[in-house]
Structure 1
Amino acid sequence: MSNPEQGQRPSRTINQDPEAMPPLGKAIPLGIQHIMAMFAGNVTPPIIIAGVIGATTGEQIFLIQVALFVAGIATLVQTIGMGPIGARLPIVQGTSFGFLPVALPLAGTFGLPAVLGASLVAGLLQVGLGAFLKKIRHWFSPVVTGIVVLLIGITLMPVGLNYAAGGVGSDNFASPTNLGLAFFVLVVTIGVHQFGRGFLKAASILVGLASGYILAILLGMVDFASVGDAAWFSIPKPLQYGLEFQLTAIIGMTLIMFVVGLETIGNISAITIGGAGRQAKDRELSGGVMADGVATSFAALFNTLPNTAYAQNVGLITLTGVVSRHVVTIGGILLICMGLFPKLGGLVAAMPHAVLGGAGVVMFGMIASAGLKIIQECELDQRAMLIIAVALSLGIGLPAVEAISETMPGQAGLLLKSGLVPAAVAALVLDAILPGKPGRQQPSADEAVASKSEDAKSNV
């Protein structure tokens, strides 16, 4: 007599289940790994904006503190959720690089309060976008979301290499010491991931970062001055800079918000497909985009730049296969602690960029790989190939030829300079207007469950 369970699809492992909770002894290091992976990206935008507005050292420390605190709160909104808000997936929120091309000139012209006011409005609009996402989800076919995720990875690759070289503007940029340290982290990460087992394999990025940090200390490359200057405990103050509402700033930030929302859709799809092995559910996509908007408006109230789902952590999830949202919840709590206890954040801030760059080479490449995996879901006929060709040409070519964006007036030039904005728009428009689009995309996870339920009823 055959076993009735034979032939059935095996159940997902604990690593692939967002609801699973690994033992704390494993979950805490995995949460720390997520924080170390996103830390530099989270604190770099406020450091850059501080330079534009001429902030003092104390103001710069404050901007870093609120960026950490807001990222922690926003991450908990994604992983734990509030009603319909939040994807309830392992999504790490952090300060968005995507808004910088618009935020920097706006801050220089109108001041930081105008940027924060525009961010508040853009975040509220993004909540509305997420609320109606189910009705417009057909706009975001696998070819569109896959292109966006692929370009996110490609866009971040130079960032990873710049970190590996020591960080743009550093005195010893691309020195043999920096490149050697980054290469050491890369080799350790690859070796642990390939030859490690169980938890060690899942924590390969953390092992690589920790090993590189220790080596950097031994080489005398770590400056702990930021730890000494930071306070032991400090509660972030909202509305420290106030809010101003300038129409030009609101328009610019709203345009970028739409693209960042598209990035979030791509990131959520990359998590569920690359990590959990399934399509994203409608409620996950809608809740994730709404949480992005809530986080952006909340960030504006707490004096920091818009928040978004972090692509580098998507790469980490794809690499390790650990999809537990509770692991990222632990990471969010740690971020809040760093925001309340600035010295903790100072310890991570002291890590040389080269260490982070060695891990970034792997993680950012994994994001691009996840994008390719999403694109594979659609039939790669001549129509799809044409959309991919045009979008990639714009997404990669425009940033490489900055003279084109510099000839465009005002905000148009800024939008073209990013490459991701015109590529995403081109993919959306071409997918909508080119003939031959499949009448029905592959059903979402919600639809699949409903279909199975109806089949079961009909078979009774």
Structure 2
Amino acid sequence: MNQKSPSKAGTKRPSNRPEDERVSIGSSFAYGFQHVLSMYGGIIAVPLIVGQAAGLAPNDIGILIAAALFVGGLATLLQTIGLPFFGCQLPLVQGVSFSSVATMVAIVTGGGGLPAVFGAVIASAAIGLLIAPVFSRIVRFFPPVVTGTVITTIGLTLMPVAANWAMGGNKKAEDYGSMANLGLAALTFALVLVLSKVGRATISRLSILLAMVIGTLVSVVVGMADFSKVGDGPVVAFPTPFHLGIPTFEIAAIISMVIVMVVILTETMADILAVGEIIGTKTDSKRIAAGLRADMVSSLVAPIFGSFPQSAFAQNVGLVAVTKMKSRYVVAAGGLILVLLGLLPILGRVVAAVPTAVLGGAGIVLFGTVAASGIRTLAKVEYRNNMNLIIVAASIGFGMIPIVAPTFYDKTPPWFATIFHSGISSAAIMAICLNLLFNHFKAGNSENQSITVAGTGRRVVTEDDLKCLADGDRFEGGKLIDAEGTEVPVQFAQKSPEH
């Protein structure tokens, strides 16, 4: 018996993890394509912005976009499938981090050009790879009051992106915010809700993808989508190493990019914890370290092909929550699609032709789901006779500052603005610090520290708790005893990391 048990445990363990669920190849690529659609606008935005800032020709900007797709796909495969010590094996989509845009544009316009950007990314990613294990060890400082706050903030900070997409995506366009764009976004939004409600399980899970397809078809009929340029340009193209210049290493650029890498590490760890919470799987320090190392290795390799720092995409965390499709192999299929899009620019041009307003309508549901998942986590937090309510309030408020006032940090030192310009990193840093201050360093804490503390300390038993009890049950000496004097087994909940 003792010899067989390890064998059985070894064979059953993978199937016990929700992320190891296997689905058919067709379903995997259908759901994977849905992941690609939900993040496509975000992954191509960075190379577009940086390429334009560098004054590149359209063909060279196209190379940056192809490289972003190609490297993002490889990074996704590494993160989901994993190698020893690399990859958290969770359904996380990787792509070019938007947190690095401001710093890279500053390096480009400051005279360094793209070679200085590539050199700074390589050097800072190497440093990030070294410090990744340090980040993984602070997971015990991420109890539900912190993770719930960060997940909620991730969803809230993404809402302006969805709104911008719904209005058309290009603020300089004449039809930006037009009734046509808003109507198309509203149609897609409504389709997501209808398909989620009335469809079968498969249709409900594919509601985002189907809504986007239907929305795109409607846009073609009314003349709001243009697929005429899909045939322009090469059909197949492989990202050429160092096509846009050999990296140069400038100290100032590297220092500023190291700060960005710290922000990316913080955001990726928050996404790992978020998706782990959503799918209901364990995310310990070892797994987080593997995920962060995959992030940094991908960022280290990216400049070779002409791409930029990689990080997990928060909008795809929302898609996991919406579809309830927890399998990492589904996201791995999305990674393969990204690689193909990078090698087959014609496929990328097809996806790029999907109207931005369609993406916006679906994005409202996606990003809202992320925030709702965070609220669900916060519902598990104990608020009586502690400062957890203050932690949540202050952290979310602090995280919203750069969202509602984008120029708030413009006159602060560049390194400070780089860190706190991201609402996600702002909320994460504040939540971690306040949790340490109030829940770990308790010296000086009083019983009721604030008038805003929820609860009076009065004991409360829920209705569900009462339903589990029978007449005559009693609690004695730490044991639950029934009316006949027999002990009733008690299954204790797993302790929160906060304890």
TM-score range (shorter-chain normalised) is 0.7 to 0.9
Match for residue 26 of structure 2?
A: 25
One-letter code of the match for 1:328? V
Match for residue 189 of structure 2?
A: 186
1:422, CA displacement in angstroms?
3.4
1:265 counterpart = 2:269: yes
Match for residue 55 of structure 1?
A: 56
Match for residue 310 of structure 2?
A: 307
1:274 counterpart = 2:278: yes
Q: Which runs of structure 2 are paired with 1:300-449 in the superposition (5 Å)?
A: 300-381=303-384, 382-402=386-406, 404-434=408-438, 442=495
* Number of residues of Structure 1 aligned to a counterpart in Structure 2: 432
Match for residue 242 of structure 1?
A: 246
1:421, CA displacement in angstroms?
3.6
One-letter code of the match for 2:495? Q
1:96, CA displacement in angstroms?
1.1
Query: Does the CA contact (< 8 Å) of 1:15 and 1:323 recur in 2?
Result: no
CA 128–380 in structure 1, closer or farther in 2 if over 3 Å, else same: farther
Match for residue 94 of structure 2?
A: 93
Instruction: State the alpha-carbon separation in 2 of the partners of residues 184 and 230 from structure 1.
Output: 32
1:414, CA displacement in angstroms?
4.0
1:235, CA displacement in angstroms?
0.8
1:409, CA displacement in angstroms?
3.2
Structure 2 SS opposite 1:18: helix
- 1:155 paired residue among 147, 154, 157: 157
Query: Does the CA contact (< 8 Å) of 1:96 and 1:307 recur in 2?
Result: yes
CA 187–45 in structure 1, closer or farther in 2 if over 3 Å, else same: same
Query: Does the CA contact (< 8 Å) of 1:126 and 1:292 recur in 2?
Result: no
Structure with more of its chain in helix, by fraction = 1
1:25, CA displacement in angstroms?
2.6
Report the more deviating stretch, 30-39 or 96-105.
96-105
Match for residue 297 of structure 1?
A: 300
1:377, CA displacement in angstroms?
3.7
CA 355–335 in structure 1, closer or farther in 2 if over 3 Å, else same: same
Give per-residue Cα distances to partners, 1:340-392, cap 9 Å, x unaligned. 11001110011111010011001111111222233334323442222222222
Q: Which runs of structure 2 are paired with 1:27-42 in the superposition (5 Å)?
A: 27-42=28-43
Give per-residue Cα distances to partners, 1:78-107, cap 9 Å, x unaligned. 111111100111111111112112222222
CA 325–398 in structure 1, closer or farther in 2 if over 3 Å, else same: closer
1:251, CA displacement in angstroms?
2.1
One-letter code of the match for 1:380? Y
1:136, CA displacement in angstroms?
2.5
Give per-residue Cα distances to partners, 1:101-149, cap 9 Å, x unaligned. 2222222112222222221122223323333444332233332233222
1:150, CA displacement in angstroms?
1.8
1:262, CA displacement in angstroms?
1.8
Query: Does the CA contact (< 8 Å) of 2:263 and 2:419 recur in 1?
Result: no
1:19, CA displacement in angstroms?
1.2
1:229 counterpart = 2:232: yes
Structure 1 SS opposite 2:95: strand
1:172 counterpart = 2:172: no
One-letter code of the match for 1:268? I
Give per-residue Cα distances to partners, 1:389-430, cap 9 Å, x unaligned. 222222112443355422223333344433444333222222
1:330, CA displacement in angstroms?
1.1
* Percentage identity across paired residues of the two chains: 34
CA 380–250 in structure 1, closer or farther in 2 if over 3 Å, else same: farther
Instruction: State the alpha-carbon separation in 1 of the partners of residues 439 and 91 from structure 2.
Output: 37
Instruction: State the alpha-carbon separation in 1 of the partners of residues 193 and 323 from structure 2.
Output: 11
Report the more deviating stretch, 34-43 or 430-439.
430-439
For structure 2, list consecutive stretches of 5 or more residues without a partner in the other structure: 1-11, 444-493
Give per-residue Cα distances to partners, 1:313-335, cap 9 Å, x unaligned. 10000011101111111111111
- 1:130 paired residue among 122, 129, 132: 132
CA 389–111 in structure 1, closer or farther in 2 if over 3 Å, else same: same
Query: Does the CA contact (< 8 Å) of 2:143 and 2:496 recur in 1?
Result: no
One-letter code of the match for 1:238? P
One-letter code of the match for 1:186? F
Please say which structure displays the higher CA radius of gyration. Answer: 2
Match for residue 108 of structure 1?
A: 109
Match for residue 65 of structure 1?
A: 66
Q: Which runs of structure 2 are paired with 1:283-294 in the superposition (5 Å)?
A: 283-294=286-297
One-letter code of the match for 1:203? L
1:16, CA displacement in angstroms?
7.7
1:15, CA displacement in angstroms?
12
Match for residue 207 of structure 1?
A: 210
Structure 2 SS opposite 1:235: coil
Instruction: State the alpha-carbon separation in 2 of the partners of residues 97 and 403 from structure 1.
Output: 17
1:437, CA displacement in angstroms?
6.1
Query: Does the CA contact (< 8 Å) of 1:259 and 1:424 recur in 2?
Result: no
CA 105–284 in structure 1, closer or farther in 2 if over 3 Å, else same: same
Report the more deviating stretch, 85-94 or 223-232.
223-232
RMSD: 2.4
One-letter code of the match for 1:391? S
One-letter code of the match for 2:114? L
Q: Which runs of structure 2 are paired with 1:76-87 in the superposition (5 Å)?
A: 76-87=77-88
Instruction: State the alpha-carbon separation in 2 of the partners of residues 30 and 386 from structure 1.
Output: 39
Structure 2 SS opposite 1:308: strand
Query: Does the CA contact (< 8 Å) of 1:16 and 1:324 recur in 2?
Result: no
